[in-house]
């Protein structure tokens, strides 16, 4: 089983709908992230959380919100989805104590299509 699990893996929705992408991890890491990946644009950081009480905006947070329900769970919401939010979304974790800074462990990705 994957250490970082994302659900759903694929979702097609319509403009204006509320969508939640969920991420859970069994790695025991404190740090969790949400990225989106678009062709030609690379991975861009949406939100990140360094512990349960810490939520921070990334470079492209507009139109998104997050919730860190527990150390192991970090969900991403699109309150009112729009077509330019069509992308591949990745959740990732990292371990502050590992000594290997910046080693991100990614989930398998959630492909979202907004019609």
Going by C-beta distance under 8 Å and a sequence separation of 6 or more, which residues neighbour residue 97? none
DSSP percent split of the chain into helix, strand, coil, nearest 5 = 5, 55, 40
Interaction of residue 57 with another protein, rule CB under 8 A:
no
When binding is defined by CB under 8 A, the residue of 23, 34, 48, 64 that contacts another protein is: 48
Alpha carbon separation from 87 to 17, 21, 61, 107, 115 (Å, rounded): 16, 12, 14, 15, 12
When binding is defined by CB under 8 A, the residue of 1, 10, 42, 97 that contacts another protein is: 42
Q: Which stretch binds another protein (CB under 8 A): 15-23, 61-69, 73-81, 105-113?
A: 105-113
Sites of contact with another protein (CB under 8 A): 31, 33, 35, 40-45, 48, 58, 90, 94, 96, 100-109
């Amino acid at each position: 089983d994957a250490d970082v699990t994302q659900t759903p893996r694929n979702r097609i929705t319509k403009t204006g709908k509320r969508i939640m992408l969920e991420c859970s991890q069994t790695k025991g890491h404190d740090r969790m992230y949400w990225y989106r990946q678009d062709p030609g644009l690379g991975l861009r950081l949406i939100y990140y959380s360094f512990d349960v009480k810490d939520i921070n905006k990334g470079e492209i947070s507009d139109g998104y919100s997050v919730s860190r329900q527990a150390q192991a769970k970090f969900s991403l919401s699109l309150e009112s989805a729009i077509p330019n939010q069509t992308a591949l979304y990745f959740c990732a974790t990292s371990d502050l104590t590992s000594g290997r800074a910046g080693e991100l462990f990614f989930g398998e990705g959630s492909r979202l299509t907004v019609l």
